[in-house]
Amino acid sequence: MSTATSPSAISSRIAQRIADDVGPRKYAMWFDHSARFSYDHDDRTLRVAVPNRFVADWIGKHFRDEIHRAAANEAGQTLDDVDVDLVIDPAGFAREDRVSSPNPATPSIAYRAAPAAPRRRPSAGRLRHRLEEFVVGPANELAYTAAARLADEAVNDAAPAGPLFLHGGCGLGKTHLLQGVCRRVIDRDPQTRVHYATGEQFTNDYIAAVRSNKLEAFRRKMRRVDLLAVDDVHFIANKAATQQEFLHSFDQIELGGARVVLASDSHPKLIEQFSQQLVSRCVRGLVVQINPPDEQLRRQLVQTLAGRRGLTLSPGVIEPLAEHGDGSVREIEGLLAKLHAMASLNAQGVAPDEPIGRAMVERLLRSEAPDSKRRRVRYEHVLQAVAEELHVTPAQITGAGRHRHVVLARSLVVHLTRQFTSMSFPEIAAAMGRKNHSTVITAAQRMKKQIESDQPVLLPNGLGETSAANLVERLRRTILRG
């Protein structure tokens, strides 16, 4: 191997190209002393070592495309052939602080490699999450338990019990669980053949294989795995050829005794243009919904995620942060990332080791206010949200039908309208076309009783059941988000 094509030379050129692309100011701030580049010829992977999760999150969010392009260009590969792996290596940076400065002939751009890690399959490099780091609460406990059990079964070579299908809104932890399953399986048995991809990646790989006349190689690669994990599987919903290929791979993998774990924003029965054959395969196993975090879990998430960032929070700021980040885990992570940035810049003169107090948090939340203003909620908003959630029409809710899902929807509309608006019972009754408001009062009382007694609620279209409190909370968030 010539000097020009050695890993260190390629790493140096990649670093220089990134510096040219992002500009000297941004490079000095985020890369110069906070990132080290190491290109691996065999894995075709650029490893970027950083000192902490904050830097990893920031670089991954703002500069991943520039890093990926630089790696592909300098390595002489296409974007599809090169991976970028962000590695958090605080010990390596601590060692650097204790050694002399680099050789003067070396460019100021940091590209020295982190200590070599054990060789692992290239797909494992993209797995950032672990099951051990998942914060468990009532909203996600069943999903976590199912994911952990599937991982353990794969390692112990137990007979597969069918696919696992996780569904829920954005930012609730589906990707974390899928990647966590893959990491646990690989960590316990590095020889296990694991393939993790998104629905979009599967589609792109399939199309590329067809165009390059390499379909058989693609099929061999997909159908010889021990564990297949596909995130955002709904992406393939309106793509007939891709669905057919995925269905055949699905069947072959299961026939071979391998595991399949999938994730989507929706229950498989509710994914539009999803073939009935795929729906049938998905519901044959375990279908588990992940709900938005409740108040207790949000507080736990704030404390746990802040600790991982090295943030010390005063007791009085946990509650407002948990209350503000009420939509998803991702919202809480975003808040804490901004809080970390403020603390890192020593905002308001706070000492580095001093717990973050209410003043800084209030400043953060004030800055968030323009992005988080809620629209004024009207009765029509509530009616539409409930109708869509329970798969009934507004006309059915305001009509005289007594089907259990219509009755449930009616009670939810009354309960949420009272919660969100200033409408009285007679006004709600008039809006719903009722001559007497006593029926509206009865509906409100019925819903209040279901919530307080934690009664299960049967969902439409065979989607199982949930608690009345969970259903109300889910609708509340839907309404607030418009």
Distance CA 427, CA 132 (A): 51
CA angle 66, 71, 74 (to 5 degrees): 120
Q: Is residue 463 very low, low, confident or very high in pLDDT (cuts 50, 70, 90)?
A: low
pLDDT band (50, 70, 90) for residue 264: very high
Output the average pLDDT for the chain: 81
| CATH architecture label of 3-117 | 2-Layer Sandwich (3.30)
Q: Distance from CA of residue 253 to its chain's centroid?
A: 25
Of residues 347 and 178, the one with the higher pLDDT is 178
Mean pLDDT, range 387-409, rounded to an integer:
88
pLDDT of residue 95: 54
Q: Could you tell me the pLDDT band of residue 182, with boundaries at 50, 70 and 90?
A: very high
**In the predicted model, is pLDDT for residue 146 greater than 60?**
yes
Tokens of 101: 């400065």
What's the CATH fold of domain 379-481?
Chromosomal Replication Initiator Protein Dnaa; Chain: A; (1.10.1750)
The more confident residue out of 37 and 455 is 37
In terms of Cβ atoms closer than 10 Å to its own Cβ (0-12, 13-18, 19+), residue 336 is buried
Determine if the pTM surpasses 0.85.
Answer: no
Predicted pLDDT at 145: 95
In the structure, what pLDDT confidence band is assigned to residue 241 with cuts at 50, 70 and 90? Answer: very high
Strand pairing category for 36-40 and 45-50? antiparallel
Specify the fold of 131-290: Rossmann fold (3.40.50)
Q: What's residue 102's pLDDT?
A: 36
Confidence (pLDDT) at 116: 35
Phi, psi of 456, rounded to the nearest 5 degrees? -70, 145
Predicted confidence at residue 111, as pLDDT, reads: 28
pLDDT for res 455: 74
pLDDT tens across 19-62, in order? 888 887 788 778 877 888 998 877 788 889 888 877 887 888 88
Rounded to an integer, what distance in angstroms lies between the CA atom of residue 190 and that of residue 320? 43
pLDDT band of residue 327 (cuts 50, 70, 90) is low
Question: Which residues lie across from 85 on neighbouring strands?
Answer: 47
- Asked if residue 112 has pLDDT above 50, the reply is no
pLDDT at 358 over 60: yes
Give the residue among 329, 320, 318 at the shortest CA–CA distance from 292.
329
264: Cβ contacts below 8 Å, ≥ 6 apart: 165, 166, 167, 174, 232, 233, 234, 271
pLDDT at position 125 over 60: no
pLDDT at 167: 92
What is the predicted pLDDT for the residue at 58? Answer: 83
Position 2 scores a pLDDT of 54
Residue 482 has pLDDT above 70, yes or no: no
Distances (CA, A) of 407 to 366, 410, 440, 466: 41, 5, 11, 16
Paired tokens of 259: 């595991």
Task: Decide: helix, strand or coil at residue 36.
Answer: strand
Cα(322)–Cα(470) distance, rounded to whole angstroms? 18
Q: Which residue reads 């995925």 in tokens?
A: 246
* CB-neighbour burial class of residue 271 (10 A; exposed 0-12, middle 13-18, buried 19+): buried
Structure tokens at 292: 């938005």
Q: Where are the domains of the chain?
A: 3-117, 131-290, 295-371, 379-481
**What one-letter code names the amino acid at 456?**
P
**Predicted confidence band of residue 98 (pLDDT cuts 50, 70, 90):** very low
**Residue 66, helix vs strand vs coil:** helix
Is 374's pLDDT higher than 70? no
pLDDT one-digit tens code per residue, 75-88: 888 777 788 888 88
Instruction: Give the model's pLDDT for residue 109.
Output: 30
Domain 295-371's class?
mainly alpha
Tokens coding 74: 């300098």
pLDDT one-digit tens code per residue, 415-436: 999 888 888 888 898 888 887 8
Q: Are 64 and 130 in contact (CB under 8 A)?
A: no
> What are the strands of the beta sheet with 36-40, ordered from one edge?
36-40, 45-50, 83-88
What is the structure's pLDDT at 56? 82
Least confident of 71-80, 176-185, 275-284, 402-411: 71-80
What pLDDT is attached to residue 117? Answer: 37
Is the pLDDT at 245 greater than 60, yes or no? Answer: yes
pLDDT in the model for residue 353 = 56
Confidence of residue 461 (pLDDT cuts 50, 70, 90): low
pLDDT (0 to 100) of residue 148: 93
> What are the pLDDT digits (tens) for 221-234?
888 899 999 999 99
Which of 140, 126, 253 lies closest to 196 in space, CA to CA?
126
